Amino acid sequence: MTSDLFNLPTEYQDLRESVRALAEKEIAPHAHAVDEDHRYPQEAADALIKANLHAAHIPDKFGGEGADALAVAIIIEEVARVCASSSLIPAVNKLGSLPLILGGDEEQKKRWLPALAQGKGFSYCLSESEAGSDATALKTKAERTSSGWLLNGSKKWISNAGVSEFYTVIAQTDPSKGSKGITAFIVEKSDSGISFGAPEKKMGFRGSPTREVYFDNIEISDDRRIGEVGKGFAIAMDTLDHTRITIAAQALGIAQGALDAAEKYSHERKQFGKEIFEFQAIQFILADMAMNIEAARQLTYAAAAKSERNDKDLRFFSSASKTFASDVAMKVTTDAVQVLGGYGYVSDYPVERMMRDAKLTQIYEGTNQVQRIVMARNLP
């Protein structure tokens, strides 16, 4: 037997402490303004890039930190604890670049990963207006030409679109073959023919610009293709198996931030001559919040370990962690608003923002209803 059984190794605990300190100092002071003004969290981006936390998953040989899936989850969790919009910087950078890491060749990795490590963003373009949960119903097409490919179409709900320099684009190359007629490509913001729609007016995550991305006769060479022709859908799905865990981590951070705010308020607010924490009704709410957060954390960290090992049951655990943690985040943030009462409903306190942010974690990278289908088909 060992006394540190089931404890995180020291390096992960140290990472949490350092990211929390950075988030509290550099990110938290701007979170309210980022949400109110619907603006990109540039202060967070600058701080994360300076600390090499914006894309820590990049292997060190390409200029990154070589952080494993658990370390990345902890980074995202701690940033999301104070500002969910800012946590999308490392989350989107991993999502956008993972198809390249999983399916790209060495020359492609040398071309794009060092630039990402230096601070240039990487977004992921899969969803379309008519291809959300049914991701095979893509209309964006890439047609072969004598010099490479001609890309036309549009993508919807693209996080950090317009800010990122690079875009992984999943496109139809042979519609007659269904999911086996889909291929992945890299498009750069500097390419002629790419443009962006106006930012969506969203309930939450207001600091992360979500736009449509348009591809109008974009000519790209074949060295922009990731993996084999027809393997794009498989690469896209394999990517999501790993990155749904980052959404779980994000939801976990939002929930923890809400619990921290609610617990603090429960000791500050006095009614009937004593702290409201002294009332059993409040204690039960806080206890349930903490219990469910800890359960979500254990599942999320287990899924992250499975991602790092690429275990056979990763797909189940990835979907399970995302679904459970996001459902917990929605419940916990709603309860946090209830603990704060009227103050929870106004923007002077962060819990109403956290509640709005939590909702998205139940929707993107596959709705929780779709995740339950995935889990049922991949029971461990």
DSSP-assigned letters across all residues of 113-172: HHHHHTT--EEEE--BTTBSS-TT----EEEE-SSSEEEEEEEEEEETTTT-SEEEEEEE
**Cα angle: 289, vertex 73, 136; to 5 degrees:** 100
Residue with tokens 């914006």: 54
Environment class of 164 (CB within 10 Å of its CB; exposed 0-12, middle 13-18, buried 19+): buried
Q: What is the dihedral of CA 287, 289, 292, 298, to 10 degrees?
A: -90
Q: Is 187 helix (H, G, I), strand (E, B) or coil?
A: strand
Q: How far apart are CA 138 and CA 366, in angstroms?
A: 16
Residue with tokens 């951070």: 253
Q: How far apart are CA 72 and CA 317, in angstroms?
A: 17
Residues recognised as catalytic: 365
Q: Is 215 helix (H, G, I), strand (E, B) or coil?
A: strand
DSSP state of 192: T
CB hemisphere CA count around 271 (13 angstroms): 11
- Alpha-carbon dihedral sign for residues 307, 313, 317, 320: positive
Q: Is 201 helix (H, G, I), strand (E, B) or coil?
A: coil
Phi, psi of 213 (to 5 degrees): -120, 130
Q: Which of 28, 80, 59 is nearest to 358 (CA)?
A: 80
